[in-house]
Structure 1
C-alpha cells in the first residue's frame, strides 16, 4: 500500500530526528571523552583509566548507530527485509 504524503513527511521527520540525535550523541561522546582523556593524562597521572569510559560509551554509541541507521523505521535494511517477506508471502498465496 503506497504511503500518503503526510505519512512520508512523518516518516522523514522521524528518521531525520533519529539521525540528528545520533550526531549529537557523537559530538557529546567526542567532547566528553577528550576531556576525560586530558584529565587522565595531565591531571591524574598517566594511568590509562580513561579507556574504560571510552569503550563503554563507545559501545553504546555503536548500538545507537545500528538502531538508527540499520534497524530504524524506514531504514534500508528493514525495508529490504519487509519487502522480501512480502514477496515470499505473495508467492505462497499465489501457489494456493
Structure 2
C-alpha cells in the first residue's frame, strides 16, 4: 500500500487511510496490551493529539493509571509528548500523539 500524505487526498480518503493504518499498526499489533490499545484508540478519537485530562474524561481510570500507560507507550516508541507554548511563552498542557504514522500535526 502506498503511503498517503495529508493534503494529497480529500479528507474522507485520508480518514479512511488512517483507519487502515491504525488497524494494521495498532489493533493487530500483538506486542501491545489491551490497555495500550485502548489508550491509543482514545488518542485517535481526538484526531491524534490529546492531554491526560481529556483521556480521563473518557474512562474510569485515574490520572496515575493513564500516565503509566502513556509512559509505557513512550518507552515502546509508539507515542510521543508534544509541548507547545502560548503567545506569552507559558507552557501549555502536555499532549500526546501517536508516532506510528503521520497525523495532521506532523510538519
Q: Normalized against structure 1, the TM-score is what?
A: 0.32
Which is higher, the Rg of structure 1 or of structure 2?
1
More helix by share: 1
